[in-house]
A and B are shown apart, each in its own frame.
Chain A
Amino acid sequence: MSGFTLDTLRECLDTLAPVELLGMTLLRSSQQLFPTGLPRNTLREAVAELVAYTERCAKTVAQLMTLPPMALTAVSVVEYGL
């Protein structure tokens, strides 16, 4: 962890590929704001995935909000070097 900076953290997060949900794929391929005429099973799969993704995000946010503070005595983040 020595020498870990905010830039390093940003670079690390930047390498993560954006989440590609089925709904987004369908949206892009349709070139419409509200696509119509899609097979019902495909839509159901897209909605189920989106609902599950939303709930995962909500849970993550809830966990982060209750995260206890942790002393990082061995980490040097120079941007917050006060």
Chain B
Amino acid sequence: MKNIVQHELKSNWKPFLYWTLGLAVLVLAGFVKFLGFDASTGADVSALMAQFPKVFLAMFGMAGLDIQSLPGYYAVLENFVLLLTSVYAIQLGANAVSRESIDKTYEFIFTKPRTRNTILAAKVLAALLFLTVFSVLNFAFSHIALPIYKIQNTISTQIFYFSFANYIVGVFFLSLSVFLSTLFARAETGIKVGNYAFMGFYVLAIIYDMLESPKLIQLLSPMRYFTAHDILASLFSWTHLLIALLVSALAMQFAFVNFRKKDLSAV
């Protein structure tokens, strides 16, 4: 088990590096705009934004946020990080299930004296580790970015909540992707359906932002389990955390059952 985890970490660190690079660029460079906008304009921008149709704002994750304030601006930035985290999580999940089939090395690993469950568990564990480090880095970069631009850090709580929330949503997408990948015979189909699911959930999140935050849609929309509105008020929805983890656990459970019976073949 330990060998497999180690091997997985070693062979997947490259994509991790690229994704982290994207994250670093997004978070570290992301605050540049905040400066520009803070100095040159008055309070009018907020008034102007308020007049825009909600959908326009929702598409950029700006609905109901005052992007002239540091917490509001950070919330918009983290909404983009959420998209990045979700897509990376989907790739991690699909990779854990399908990589050996794609590389045509499945006969090699699945004839080792370890059960399929053990092997998949090790792979999922490695994927979760990458996601965890990715989220910790999100937290770290956010803390580093503020002093770089000489912005007073008044949002420590929010930074923690946003990073943690994005991590949980990431875990959800990772589990979903693992489940979807065990469902389809072709590896390609698994990741494709995963991407569709991502798009569907994204649209659902926009719809949620557009309609005055309906509870029922929120339940179906993991990207809005931890809303900027809540986090800015230093609230963290533990109920949604529980639901997200429960659904993830369920997806994993089904994934392992599927995987045990899956007819493994090349691609």
Question: Do these two chains interact?
Answer: no
Listed in ascending order, the chain B residues whose CB lies under 8 Å from chain A are none
Listed in ascending order, the chain A residues whose CB lies under 8 Å from chain B are none
